[in-house]
Amino acid sequence: MLPIYRTVLSALAVFAMLTASAFAAQAKPEAAPAAPSASKKVSTADHHKFKELQKNFRTGPEVTAACLICHTEAAKQVQHTKHWTWESTDPKTGQKRGKKNIINNYCTNPTSNEKDCMACHAGYGWKDSSFDFKVEKNVDCLVCHDTTGTYRKLPGDAGHPVYKRTEFPKGSGKIVEAVDLRKVAQSIGKPGRTNCGACHFFGGGANGAKHGDLSSSLQHPSRYLDVHMDEKGLNFSCATCHSTSSHQVSGSRYNISAAVKGAPHIRGKADDSPAACQSCHGNKPHPQRMARLNQHTDKIACQTCHIPEFARDDIGTERSWDWSTATTMGPDGKPMVRKDSAGRRAFDSKKGTWVWESYVIPEYRWFNGQSRFQVIGDKIDPTKVVKINEVGGGPNDPESRIWPTNVHRGKQPYDKVNLTLTLQHTGGEDDTALWHNYDWQKAIKAGMKAGGLPYSGEYGFVETEQTWPITHMVAPKDDALRCEQCHSKNGRLKDIQGVYLPSRDGNKVLDTLGWTLALLTLIGVLVHGGIRILTAKKEG
Amino acid sequence: MTVEKIYVFKRFERFWHWSQALLIIFMMITGFEVHGSYELFGFGKAVSLHTVAAWSLISLWVFAIFWHFTTGEWKQYIPTREKVFAMIGFYSVGIFRGAPHPFRPTTLKKHNPLQRLAYLGVLLFIGPLLWFTGWFYLFFGDWKAWGVDSYLSLEWVAFFHTAGAFMMLAFFIAHVYLTTTGHTPTSHIKAMITGWEEVD
């Protein structure tokens, strides 16, 4: 009730003085906290000194075997994570999701393309469906724990790092040096932005392409781009929010806590959602003088106001990927690559057409944290846009909030008879690989076979749409959305249903009646006054 | 026909009237912006100003209600049937013919019968409608805590609040015009400023 007293007091002050100046009184924003000192080595162990690591490792699994001598449980832990299984189970429906099972709106699915895709698997040797998920030495410790920034895994090697000097991409003249595994193994530490970013910044095959709120710009971000990761300020790493226990990284997109309630979480308290904003800020984060904003947390996710745009950099993000133009050759009959004016991929005969954008205004959706995903083999209706995933929730669901989302659109191949999205063999040097032979028919046949799916032999292209919540790139408070950006006729939330939004909404009949009443009253008094003036003149 | 002056409006009453007038005008300006009728201050600012004005008006009313009861002035609003038709006749016919005003204000009866009815309507209907809906509108965030969230919807609270505002606007227009219908076009207004009304 404190805000009421405050307001009453200020109102009394206004009443007493009736001065206008009191109306505008507004406290200045508090000064930003001082930047913490640069991070130092905090580990109690110097891995250079460990005998187990003082040898010239030839392969990744050899390094892992050495790690496991001391860290006996580490591989077992990793093997229970999505980083290893590429699988996630919907706790409600039991549906198997995860990168292994879903069709995404970018490279679609890794099946039959494991050699390429597994460059981002936290393991070694997943080259086809025969991969043994129980072999501990195939867990890749280094990809997350390297601190030298020299550990690289390239497409084509099924998750193994670069063992010998390689030209990559082939024919580009660019050389990738072999990884010095001895040096990397001795220099391990807690995962930093570079480790997470190596995959998560470049998902979808290009910098910033996939998420929209993750790109290499978060390596050295300014305060404007990310108020938490600001290199000169709070300088959070990814794991500051995505706190980790037993190698389980919190904050998965597959099961989001869309509506975290209550006060900030006390350290040591059991915490279901440590990666949520509310974990530190609580769900009433605004000071008393802005108490009205706290009333919004019942309906609106923090991200909606505090991430006014995503991809707030020149790297940008992909808005659409149209596979239907892939295999189109250039005028000379040879494969062609074109870039947009900002130097981002716009067309590639291998992959199709892309559209990019920076400073993207999100699309807003009711979201309760549960998404339904299109998984391999799910039937589709090709007369409609195929929802690669759909966010659940609605205005009457107390677990739902209005979230900003990145809606990525595209066109993907599908089986015209069996009505499923297809799997296609894209990467590789063999005759059936799309990126080698530019033959859809062969590529789909090979992909469907690898996935154990029937294929009719007839393919077409269908429009697809993927909706992902936006949660990174939180802007400083001065850059948060202003009230007017939603509370207006054509504001950000103009398409959001189920909530009465003052200034956007109103009753048209009442408005018409109300203004008519006011107008008739005005006309009435004017006519009355006019007659008075006329009759007064006559008499005068 | 001699012009006489009588003391009708006391100092507090005049202060109450004009500060209330300013606040209501201001609340109509900010309120219709919050409603989305136009842009002036910007939505956020309009909400803040509307809220401060609302609390100021509440404070003013607390004093005004106290004053009305301690002075007995509340009796000025008791409706009467006496001369109602005479007033209607005056406004619709007599006023154009220069007929004398059927009501002569005194310190004890300062409002004509139609004024009494109109003000009573404002005090008992338009005002409470605005206060009641405005209160719930203001404390939207506390509905759950109060246990009223399943009985109320913001849409209808806003609807009736806006309906009240339109009625207040119509009253305001008519009221401003009717101030010119005194002994001279300005005598009512002068009375509200100085307290002294010129009567026939």
Report the percent of chain A where pLDDT is more than 70: 91
Cβ of B96 and A18 within 8 Å? no
Residues A226 and A372 in one domain: yes
Write out pLDDT tens, residues A475-499.
Answer: 999 999 999 999 999 999 999 999 9
Q: Within an 8 Å CB–CB cutoff, is residue A27 touching chain B?
A: no
- ipTM of the shown complex: 0.92
DSSP class of residue A138 equals G
Q: Which fold has domain B4-199?
A: Fumarate Reductase Cytochrome B subunit (1.20.950)
Residues A146 and A264 in one domain: no
Cβ of A489 and B36 within 8 Å? yes
In a domain, A17, yes or no: no
Our CA-based measurement puts residue A365 at a distance from the nearest CA of chain B, in whole angstroms, of 20
**What pLDDT, on the 0 to 100 scale, is given for residue A10?**
54
- Residue to mutate among B57, B96, B126, with most A CBs inside 10 A, is B96
Our CA-based measurement puts residue A477 at a distance from the nearest CA of chain B, in whole angstroms, of 15
- Asked whether the predicted pLDDT for residue A335 surpasses 70, the reply is yes
Whole-prediction pTM: 0.88
Which of A22, A298, A487 has the CB atom closest to B43's CB atom?
A487
Residues A264 and A330 in one domain: yes
Average pLDDT over residues A48-64: 96
Write out pLDDT tens, residues B100-150.
Answer: 888 878 777 778 888 888 888 898 899 999 999 999 999 998 898 999 988
Write out pLDDT tens, residues B54-103.
Answer: 999 999 999 999 999 999 888 888 888 778 888 888 888 888 888 888 88
- The domain total for chain A is 3
Q: Residue A33 — pLDDT band, cuts 50, 70, 90? A: very low
Say whether B104 sits in a helix, a strand or coil: coil
Beta strands in A323-446 (DSSP E): 337-339, 345-348, 352-357, 363-367, 371-373, 386-387, 389-391, 401-415, 420-421
Cβ of A517 and B58 within 8 Å? no
In a domain, A12, yes or no: no
B93's CB contacts (< 8 A; 6+ apart) are B99
Residues A361 and A456 in one domain: yes
- Asked whether the predicted pLDDT for residue A192 surpasses 70, the reply is yes
DSSP class of residue A502 equals B
Residues A101 and A164 in one domain: no
Q: Residue A7 — pLDDT band, cuts 50, 70, 90? A: low
**What pLDDT, on the 0 to 100 scale, is given for residue A343?**
94
Cβ of B36 and A14 within 8 Å? no
In a domain, A456, yes or no: yes
For residue B9, which amino acid is it? F
Our CA-based measurement puts residue A5 at a distance from the nearest CA of chain B, in whole angstroms, of 10
Q: Where are the domains of chain B?
A: 4-199
Which of A295, A298, A484 has the CB atom closest to B42's CB atom?
A484
Which CB contacts under 8 angstroms, 24+ apart, belong to A216-224?
A216/A315, A217/A313, A217/A315, A218/A193, A218/A472, A218/A473, A219/A193, A219/A194, A223/A476, A224/A312, A224/A475, A224/A476, A224/A479
Write out pLDDT tens, residues A66-78.
Answer: 999 999 999 999 9
Report residue A380 as tokens.
């589709």
> Would the CA dihedral through A252, A256, A259, A261 be positive or negative?
negative
User: What is the largest distance, in Å, between two alpha-carbon atoms of chain B?
Assistant: 65
**What pLDDT, on the 0 to 100 scale, is given for residue B101?**
83
Instruction: Name chain A contacts of B162, Cβ cutoff 8 Å.
Output: 506-507, 510-511, 514
Which stretch of DSSP H or E encloses residue B178? helix B154-178
In a domain, A180, yes or no: yes
A192 touches A140 (CB < 8 A): no
Residues A363 and A392 in one domain: yes
Range of the domain at A149: 45-86+121-189
Cβ of A500 and B167 within 8 Å? no
* Among A189, A216, A237, residue at a domain's last position: A189
Residues A171 and A269 in one domain: no
Instruction: Name chain A contacts of B165, Cβ cutoff 8 Å.
Output: 514
For residue B196, which amino acid is it? W
Q: Within an 8 Å CB–CB cutoff, is residue A29 touching chain B?
A: no
Cβ of A518 and B170 within 8 Å? yes
**What pLDDT, on the 0 to 100 scale, is given for residue B2?**
66
Cβ of B173 and A525 within 8 Å? yes
Average pLDDT over residues B149-165: 95
Beta strands in chain B (DSSP E): 4-7, 196-199
What's the half-sphere exposure (Cβ side, CA atoms, 13 Å) at A349? 16
Cβ of B56 and A11 within 8 Å? yes
In a domain, A27, yes or no: no
A206 touches A319 (CB < 8 A): no
In a domain, A450, yes or no: yes
* Among A164, A189, A214, residue at a domain's last position: A189
* Burial A348-377, CB ≥16 within 10 A → b, else e: bbbbbbbebbbebebebbbbbbbbebbbbb
How big is chain B by its Cα radius of gyration, in Å? 19
Residues A465 and A369 in one domain: yes
Residues A135 and A258 in one domain: no
Write out pLDDT tens, residues A251-304.
Answer: 888 888 888 888 888 777 767 677 899 999 999 999 998 889 998 999 999 999
**Range with the largest mean pLDDT of A18-32, A41-55, A346-360:** A346-360
A483's CB contacts (< 8 A; 6+ apart) are B42, B43, B44, B47
Which of A7, A500, A531 has the CB atom closest to B55's CB atom?
A7
Residues A372 and A481 in one domain: yes
Write out pLDDT tens, residues A82-121.
Answer: 999 999 998 888 889 999 999 999 999 999 999 999 999 9
